[in-house]
Amino acid sequence: MKAFQLVAWQKPPELREVPVPEPGPGQILVKVGGAGACHSDLHLMERPAPKRPVKLPFTLGHENAGWVEKLGPGATGFAPGDPVIVYGPWGCGNCKNCRMSMENYCENAGGIARGGGLGGYDGGMAPYLLVPSSRFLVPLGTLDPREAAPLTDAALTSYHAIKRSLHLLGAGSTAVVIGAGGLGQMAIQLLRALAAAATIVAVDTSSSKLETAKHLGADEGLLSGDAAVTRIKDMTRGQGANLVIDMVGVNPTLQTAAQVARTLGHLTIVGLGGGALPVNFYSPPHECSVASPYWGSITELMEVVSLAQAGKIRMLVEHFPLERVGEAYQLLHSGKINGRAVITPNR
């Protein structure tokens, strides 16, 4: 089969011929329906070799859904043909965080757990994906894997980032989402579904993305800049927002986030933009907590799937066959994908 593989650091990935994997004990082979193209793949392609040794080549694609193809010896809980979504960060399954379902923070993974497509293991940009354990699969029910794939990263990451701050989002509260691309669009829908009483504000440099944000449930869409800061302050009687999620994470967006967050609020950095947030006694505001959540838990993925099944969240997706994967990443790189580019290796 053809697989889109990272062959060398800071070199463009290549479509290469590889064998179809055979599932070993406890493993499950998944026929890939959709594999989402994520901004973090662009970081992977552009970054220098990591300090932690990672075996090359490996197949990209960490946002995967498909159908169970074959169960390895002893694997249970699923049958061939079942539509499934694949939980992305693969932990050890035995440490305390893993047993609390937070395999993203596996204590034996050296900080954060990485699964297929993120270093070491092969990902889903190929017709078949080998998943090490059935505990990484969540049934999709009536959802189409080609449409659902982004739920496991774009939606799960946003869901976890919001859920941990829900206690701040009661009546009269304000949530600001900076960056209204794929993750931001999902965050807006999730805020609408989970924090119905909150006022939701989207901030972006693109007026068309702000239009989409409003369509998806944002109460206001503001173009990035000083006027956005003033408007958010005005809307909140000078207090600022209870929750600010920065989906971009570059210096200007982090600066905006610190300016519009309120005392006792949450400032949550999701974007991998590589910016730095200056912290001193006056900024961010007093007792405003800053966090950089990474992905989410398996049980949260189940909750995200439930929300999608109920029709409360929906990802805008643009499909590309595997032969056009390079083009999909180029469009993503130039900001021309509105929503998520999803590769469909089996059509």
| Residue from 44, 65, 71, 106 binding Zn ion (CB under 5 A) | 106
CB of 332 to Zn ion, least distance (A): 11
- Give 92 or 229: the residue with its C-beta nearer to Zn ion: 92
CB 94 within 8 A of CB 39: no
- Give 40 or 309: the residue with its C-beta nearer to Zn ion: 40
| Residue from 95, 112, 143, 331 binding Zn ion (CB under 5 A) | 95
User: How many residues of this chain bind Zn ion (CB under 5 A)?
Assistant: 9
Region from 38-46, 74-82, 198-206, 245-253 binding Zn ion, contact rule CB under 5 A: 38-46
CB of 218 to Zn ion, least distance (A): 23
**Is residue 296 close enough to count as binding Zn ion by CB under 5 A?**
no
3-class state of residue 5 by DSSP = strand
* Residue 284 structure tokens: 């961010």
* Residues sharing a CB contact under 8 Å with residue 84, sequence separation 6 or more, in sequence order: 30, 65, 66, 67, 68, 78, 137, 138, 139, 140, 145
| Residue from 69, 122, 147, 153 binding Zn ion (CB under 5 A) | 153
- Give 95 or 193: the residue with its C-beta nearer to Zn ion: 95
CB of 40 to Zn ion, least distance (A): 4
DSSP conformation letters of 213-266: HHHTT-SEEEESSHHHHHHHHHHTTTS-EEEEEESS-SHHHHHHHHHHEEEEEE
CB of 124 to Zn ion, least distance (A): 12
**Is residue 98 close enough to count as binding Zn ion by CB under 5 A?**
yes
CB 63 within 8 A of CB 35: yes
Nearest to 64 by CA among 141, 128, 133, 21: 128
Question: Which stretches does DSSP call E strand in the chain?
Answer: 2-6, 14-17, 28-37, 58-59, 64-71, 83-86, 128-131, 137-139, 174-178, 199-204, 220-223, 241-246, 261-269, 289-291, 317-320, 340-343
Region from 51-59, 147-155, 238-246, 306-314 binding Zn ion, contact rule CB under 5 A: 147-155
3-class state of residue 121 by DSSP = strand
| Residue from 38, 71, 177, 218 binding Zn ion (CB under 5 A) | 38
Torsion sign, CA atoms 173, 178, 182, 185: positive
**Is residue 342 close enough to count as binding Zn ion by CB under 5 A?**
no
CB of 151 to Zn ion, least distance (A): 12
CB of 328 to Zn ion, least distance (A): 14
| Residue from 23, 91, 265, 271 binding Zn ion (CB under 5 A) | 91
| Residue from 40, 205, 309, 330 binding Zn ion (CB under 5 A) | 40
List of residues contacting Zn ion (CB under 5 A): 38, 40, 91-92, 95, 98, 106, 108, 153
